[in-house]
A and B are shown apart, each in its own frame.
Chain A
Amino acid sequence: MGSGLWSTDVYDAAARFRAATGTSAFAHSDSGATSTHPALDPRGVTVRESRDCAEHPRSLAIAVLFDVTGSMRDVPRGLQAKLPQLLGLLLRKGYAEDPQVMFGAIGDATCDRAPLQVGQFESDNRMDDDLSRILLEGGGGGQMTESYELAMYFMARHVAADCFERRGKRGYLFLIGDEMAYPAVKRGEARERIGDGLEADIPLADLLAELTRKWDTYYILPAGASHAGNAQVLRFWRGLLGQNVIELADLDAVAETIALAVGLGEDMISLDDGLADLADIGSEAGSAVSRALATIGSSPGTVTVSLPLDDLDGPDGNVRL
């Protein structure tokens, strides 16, 4: 039985009253910051960890990284406002047993000051602190590519998660954006931004193989971004991720969409059940989520990553991977 809309846990109430300092969810950006918050700086990070503990014995790593470049317009701010709901959604409906969520942001390593920002995996609302620290740089170039590959590289090489290390179970990675990745992880950027010495650039296809061994990877293209619905962008990501490309018509539904994608992937629900759950909790997101997940939900439990595809050298000028 619930106890109303807002949780009434006595044990963290005092700390939360004391912590409620009146800072905005967009605190870091609104403070006039122009660089990555130290807590989110990937430079020198050996690994971000998602670990089991007594309280969360079967941790499941879930990472959400979103493009914060100018082409995304107001979407990142909307995401910063909406994503705090994610953990509650996952837990309330039992879509994931012990979710540990990390937030991060993606920019353009060729020209931005904060091309990669990565938080910590958290099992409680401390992750919201990371969300508020994300710098909404609004940079990027005009070439419809951002440094998604750098984020994918970080996720492939710099996360240690018990779900895949101890249980051989993939985590979930959601990339939210409206542009394409660069064709390879560049040595120079890996050195400068993360501090890694690579022998050579890593082609995207190689990276993807490595990434998807650990992460069930999704790309979400939200409405409201400059390239929403862009065929070239969609083709690019479908080529990499197959049906795990989600067009999201309603940004308000982003947390619900992610939660449901996890629930489907975990085989905890069918799409119909998930939509009924959304209705139960009074979410208005049902129809948007339904459209967004139509493909994925039609084959629950068979979420797969198809790679590599060969259709990337099309007339739009994409580089063959």
Chain B
Amino acid sequence: MRKQASALAVATLVAIGAIGVSACGSDDKSSSGGGSTSGGEAKKGGSIRIGSVLPDSYDPVLLQTIQGNQALQLVYTGLVTYKHVEGAAGAELIPGLAEALPTISADRKTYTFKLRPNLKYSVGSAVKASDFEHTIKRLLFLGGPFSSFSTVIKGAVEYQKAEKADADISGITADDATGEIKVELTAPDGKFLFAIALVSAAPTPAAKSPFKRSNSMPGLGPYTIDIKNPTREFVLTKTPGFDIPGIANGNIDTITVVKETVTKMTQDVIDNKLDYMTEDPTGGLLPEVKAKYSNRFRMDPNPPNTYWFFMNETLKPFDKLEARQAVNYAIDSRALQRIFGGRLQPSCNFLPPAYARIGYKKIDPCPYGDPAGPPNLAKARELVEKSGYKGMSVTVWGNTKDPRPAIVDYLRDTLNEIGFKAKTKLLDQQVYFGTIGTKKTNAQIGFTDWYQDFPHPADFIEPNLSAKAVESTPTFNFQFKSNPKIDAGLKKLGGEADPATVADEWAELDRAIIEDANGAVYGNELASSFFSERMDFENCSGVHPVYRSDWSLFCLK
């Protein structure tokens, strides 16, 4: 998914070492992503203030952004969830409201869960098995952003077509007496369990969850939410008596989350008026923060992500392989690193290094030259000539969120260097992806990124590069075309629940993407964590591979 505009981070951070090694820019204070799992003696209690661009939705079913996920994952827990520890281990699936991870049938089409007994929501009502089915119905009926992951459930598509809220989904059977929930799929889907762990599938009491956007549904989690002002402030308070094994109770008593501009947030954390910010410090203040406040600042390649430039393969000039390869040869990740303020790790792969166990294999040698080294402008110019498109007008698209305008300007300048006539066009972030995802916009080339929804290579490849993706409008496949190797690969590997078993084949797909230049990858972004002096930075940094930061792990000094 996209960062912020549509990104829920649910990821497996696996090979920390690989990331640490590939980090360049030695004067950068980027830790190797590992995060201490010391646990240690986390001080309990206290209250903190967090600066955030607030959730796009307080209704978990309609949520899209990381900021929303960070807050709501503390309030709503799914049947399964992610381990609440820092570092790589945090990406493991553990039972949430269910007693144990589900039993999966031999044909991999039926998942059986059993609810823990005697669970009660924060308001005191009992958690029922049928609440889960109700939640999935809401998800499908309201057309929430992640509803497409649930359409693989038997009867889900028919339910959506029927457009009746209380119709039944044949694939889900829930027995309130025994607490058993059985979900049948139309086809094996390796990603399905991850989809259940998303906040959008977390059960809420059916009686209090109407079939329209609701901001105040009770949930069951370490914290409860009190929305003071939906666009300005909300407060999370520890749920008394919350006790589910595996899910941290939370150290801080009260978390107040307020909205501010990112610049002001940075200034406030520096001045200790805020204790944490969910965003990265803006370009201007980042060097200052790195230099003066390194004792409470760190960077991690987290959650796993990839940054690249899409190239529309149905339009000139990027319908020709030579033109696309030229762009790949011409891009200099070191220059882009500077634009990112050092927060970029150059890469030649489409999959992020964090996927080392499940499909990432560093493409070495990179067909376009060392990603951390100089570009090959001569070859790029040669290829542009060969493509016959020299001198062609190209519009580079980007959005206004910092530092994308600078990124896009760099690409414009580079394209001009190699023989095109480039100019830029910027849109507001809210409308950007929808606009370029519409075919008639005719966007030739531009900025894009992807933050994982869950730890699976298909999550990166399918929405961005498959034929299936092109069918939806708007689409995320800004190439508007798909590589047949990719489609074949997705078909073959998609059903496998554990991508680690077919990691090599995923790596092959990754390589095919790069060799066929279905995009111009330049690197992976490092996310920052910046704390006030009150926070215990050493023991409780809360860096989490899925939620980016798990606030229940925060603690004060």
Are A and B bound to each other?
no
